[in-house]
Chain A
Amino acid sequence: MKRYRIIEMSCLAIVMVLFLATNGLAAKTEYIDKANWETLKDLMPENSLKWVKSGDMVVRYGTLDYDPAKVMPEWVLESKQENIGKYKLDKNKAIIEVATGKIPKFIKGIPFPDVKLTDPDGPAKVMWNTLYMRDAGGSLHNELEVKFMGRKTGYERSIWVDWYSKPYDAFEPARSEANPDDLEFASQIVVRSPFDMAGTAMMTWRYRNGKEDMLYGYVPAIRRVRRMTPAARSDALFGSDYSQDDASYGGYDGAINYFTWKFMGESEVIGAFVDTKTNLITQNKLGQWVLQMKGKDLPQWSYEKKREKNSAAPWFVDSAVWVKRPVWVIEGKPKDPYYNYGRQIMYIDKETNLGYWKVIYDRTGNYWKTLWYHWANGQDAGKAMNLNAMLITTIVDERANHATCQEGSKNYRANSPLNSNQFSLGGFTAVCK
């Protein structure tokens, strides 16, 4: 009898230990608002912390039930070992091989997995990594809803765009792609709605050798593809609070040598994720990896709740979970004296090379805008395929009390079968009206 008691007690103890262990690993979240805003001191850019302090923003603070540094495409994880010490930057900030001094034919994953704070080229290398993290996800066809919101007006309107991008680097399956123009990637933005803007389109060719971007615009009113000046990348995109350069995984989508980069230090900040769990991805008949968001009731926008509990300014995503992450703090300054922004401060994850915040100052040095991201880390059922999706970005113009949000949760499709012909001059016309 005594023997059975011991076995019974042992089993109970094991169950309790297992319960505690699993419960300890599971994600937990708590709300931080103006009552306990000090909790987030030094974990957010100063201007954003003011939003929490004033009650404008309520943060659902917590942990993820997975390690985001491990939920990445396998070629990125492999490159973290294989590319150590393999590449450096030349005087134009183009990536060259250490061994040959030449631009490599193909770079797998991220080029600089071992950035040091003391490296003068370190911040530029981190910014390259952010661009390669985007490329590592493969060709993308994403339908974006660009939402315009005002503090007083709430939700104002939306523009629907198709975003197509094709990487020639980072994404392992792209290794076999012909790349005679030595492109890092090519992208297209095509406005689908509303009717008065539909058909407006832009195409970018980004070179790997430091040359300025090649930009094309299609204006339905003249029905022609037109060259555009690279300076237009800092102009307001479709009249929104974004510029075209704002839209990338690290907060900067221009040529790296257009800016001077400086490390401001290392730190910890909170970064936003759409869910505490990884998001399921499934492959459709076209071979695309589709992020499954249906039925998840995510994201929940503040403007939809009309300022109920836990909602504040209309542009916040109430359902987002904010997680503490280690970051590089990097300052970028444009070399172009006519660039619309002055210095910009980026907060880039040291382990994932994904951005969380960007603080933008004007040319006179005064604070102007803040941009932040909501990440979704996708994983298939077999945990063999991972992708990092920049699902929502928000930019707030504090002077105008206005924000623009890009949401791509409806139809996020990675590894899209886009061929290079689509990004040729003839192909661009074909996707336009």
Chain B
Amino acid sequence: MMKEEHMKAFGHCFMGTTLLLLVLMYGNAFAISLDDEGTLEITGKIQSRISLRMSDSEGYTSPDTPVGHMVQQRNLAQIELNQLLLRQSQDTPEVKYHIKGRFLYEGVYDYGPDEYQETRENNPDVIDEFKKDEDLWECYLDYSKGPWFFRVGKQNLSWGETDVYQLMDRINPIDNTFGGAFEDLDDRRIPLWMMRGTYNFGNVGPVSSFTAEGFINPGWSGQEVAPLSPYGTPYAYPSSASSVLVRVHEPEETFQNSRMGIRLQGVLADNFNVSIAHYQTICDTPSAILTFDPTLTGYVAQDLTYETEQVTGATASFYESHIDAIVRAEAAWFWDEPVFIPEVNLPALFGVYETGKIPTTNMLRYMVGLDKSLWMRFINDTSMINCYFQYFAEYYPDYDDRQCLAVEDYSTGGFIEQKRYEQKVTLITSTTYMSGTLTPQIVFAYDPRGAMMYIPSIEKSFHPWIFKIAYYGIVGDEDVSVGILKDRQQLSMQATVVF
């Protein structure tokens, strides 16, 4: 069995090395054009990333991982094929397609520290499936003619104005299993089979560039939801091992459960970009209840259910000349969002032996941001310093003071408290040196309740190679949002070759 696994690992390494050699033989960072006109090209990247845990495990984090131990050795290849089939003219539409394959192999379970090899040995079927992936990642056809634009196929769609944290950007499910919050948000999006269309009305009344956009990810032909990390993997949320059967329920495959929505956007007074949107999505975090079921051994199961959710929101952004900055704002109303009230979801824990329910309530999330690029010539006299500041808030108008996050608090044995108001502040600052080949960046995410994540990173490219080092530091209380992952601080080193 072990020999077979080693053969598989060798196979993955061989494939990766061959691809890498092909790229190096080709010798540069350009897309490979397959015709004179450049209408057909192959492009992509091959990437390897190693992450080391920089804090000792505490609380419910499992397995116990000491400082310096490898928690990630991810190998990723993305290969894209793009072709322009028809160029737009007065009489003909523009038609093109895009296909992206993604190949992923996580080596920490095969040649990582003992604790992760043991995780695999304890749960080989699940981990062997989890550690690798070969997927048709994106595959869509674009059609443009006049005011119409359609994109049909497997794709990502992002609405809203926010970075770092999602607000209205909840159309595609997020995969937090392979790197958690330590991966870029866009790398975690899971493309969906979707049809999306836009129509440009041009100028309508006081609104210019008035555009309507709609999408549908059909719910009747399979539901894609945010996956859960298997217990004992490095990016699983801290929790105790479940002593009862865990059952996961995806939404029923019906039209009513489709992800779908519509957005209207335009420009007011030649300065104010505004949009309003309404859509239905599927919550990334499944709602948990304890269920009594006499047909089960032990009569009890933990049911995790992915619920649909309606979101209505609006965005605005504009240039403010007095401060020479872009102001961004976004607000969204989440209708009947599932919340976690232990007494309701898990009544058995409180001596009431009946099946739990999923409570819901409306909530408001909003963000105000400021984008400012400025010259600080004593730091950099050739490129501006870009600063992106955001203030996020969440508010429950019908707050129940029993509300909690569905995350266990190791110190109390209960659950982490959910406040009526939750706030966070984020700041991203970056610039470039050396003709754009050296990019230092620092990201802060601060929760005023007493926790902060900070991510200094530096990226240097020697085309076609790109190297990046990032430190993911967390300070503060472990029962406050980003502080929950306080014992997961890590140092990541990444090498990428692009073509």
Q: Which residues of A contact B (CB under 8 A)?
A: 143, 148, 156-158, 160, 178, 180-181, 192-196, 198, 207, 211-212, 214, 220-224, 226-232, 235-236, 238-241, 285-287, 336, 338, 340, 362-363, 397, 400, 402, 404, 411, 417-422, 424-427, 429-430, 433
Chain B 154-185, CB-CB to A under 8 Å as 1, else 0, gives 00111111010000010000000000000011
Chain B 291-307, CB-CB to A under 8 Å as 1, else 0, gives 00000000000000000
Task: Say whether A426 contacts B198, CB under 8 Å.
Answer: yes
Chain B contacts with A in 443-479, Cβ cutoff 8 A: 461, 463-464, 466
Q: Total number of A-B contacts with CB less than 8 angstroms?
A: 181
Taking the nearest CB of chain A, how far is it from the CB of B142, in angstroms? 7
Pairs A–B under 8 Å by Cβ, sample size 16: A158-B30, A178-B202, A180-B202, A192-B31, A194-B30, A195-B80, A196-B496, A224-B159, A227-B273, A229-B325, A232-B373, A419-B88, A420-B202, A425-B266, A426-B211, A427-B144
**C-alpha gap A195/B434 in the complex (Å):** 19
Task: Say whether A181 contacts B373, CB under 8 Å.
Answer: no
Q: Per a CB cutoff under 8 Å, which of B158, B328, B432 touches A223?
A: B158
**C-alpha gap A220/B187 in the complex (Å):** 11
Q: Per a CB cutoff under 8 Å, which of B44, B186, B200, B319 touches A426?
A: B200
**A222-B158, A229-B319, A231-B324 given; A425·B211 CB < 8 A:** yes
**C-alpha gap A228/B375 in the complex (Å):** 15
**A157-B29, A222-B185 given; A426·B158 CB < 8 A:** no
Closest to A417 in B: B89
What are the residues of chain B within 8 A of A229 when measuring CB–CB? Answer: 319, 324-326, 371-373
Taking the nearest CB of chain B, how far is it from the CB of A368, in angstroms? 9
7 smallest A-B Cβ distances: which pairs?
A: A239-B436, A426-B211, A426-B198, A194-B29, A195-B498, A223-B158, A180-B203
Closest to B374 in A: A338
What are the residues of chain A within 8 A of B324 when measuring CB–CB? Answer: 229, 231, 336, 338
What are the residues of chain B within 8 A of A338 when measuring CB–CB? Answer: 324, 374-375
Other than A143-B38, A287-B89, give 6 A-B pairs with Cβ distance below 8 A.
A180-B203, A193-B43, A226-B317, A229-B371, A421-B200, A424-B211
Q: Per a CB cutoff under 8 Å, which of A192, A193, A340, A426 touches B375?
A: A340
**C-alpha gap A224/B159 in the complex (Å):** 7
What are the residues of chain A within 8 A of B413 when measuring CB–CB? Answer: none
Task: Say whether B319 contacts A195, CB under 8 Å.
Answer: no
What are the residues of chain B within 8 A of A240 when measuring CB–CB? Answer: 435-436
Task: Say whether A421 contacts B319, CB under 8 Å.
Answer: no
Task: Say whether A224 contacts B498, CB under 8 Å.
Answer: no
Task: Say whether B270 contacts A430, CB under 8 Å.
Answer: no
Chain B contacts with A in 259-318, Cβ cutoff 8 A: 265-267, 270-271, 273, 317-318
What are the residues of chain A within 8 A of B184 when measuring CB–CB? Answer: 221
What are the residues of chain A within 8 A of B242 when measuring CB–CB? Answer: none
Taking the nearest CB of chain B, how far is it from the CB of A83, in angstroms? 27
What are the residues of chain B within 8 A of A157 when measuring CB–CB? Answer: 28-29, 463
**C-alpha gap A160/B317 in the complex (Å):** 30
Task: Say whether B326 contacts A195, CB under 8 Å.
Answer: no
**C-alpha gap A85/B264 in the complex (Å):** 45
**C-alpha gap A232/B498 in the complex (Å):** 27
For residue B362, CB closer than 8 A to chain A, the reply is: no
**C-alpha gap A417/B144 in the complex (Å):** 13
Q: Per a CB cutoff under 8 Å, which of A230, A400, A430 touches B382?
A: A400
Task: Say whether A226 contacts B463, CB under 8 Å.
Answer: no
Task: Say whether A228 contacts B326, CB under 8 Å.
Answer: yes
Chain B contacts with A in 45-90, Cβ cutoff 8 A: 45, 80, 87-90
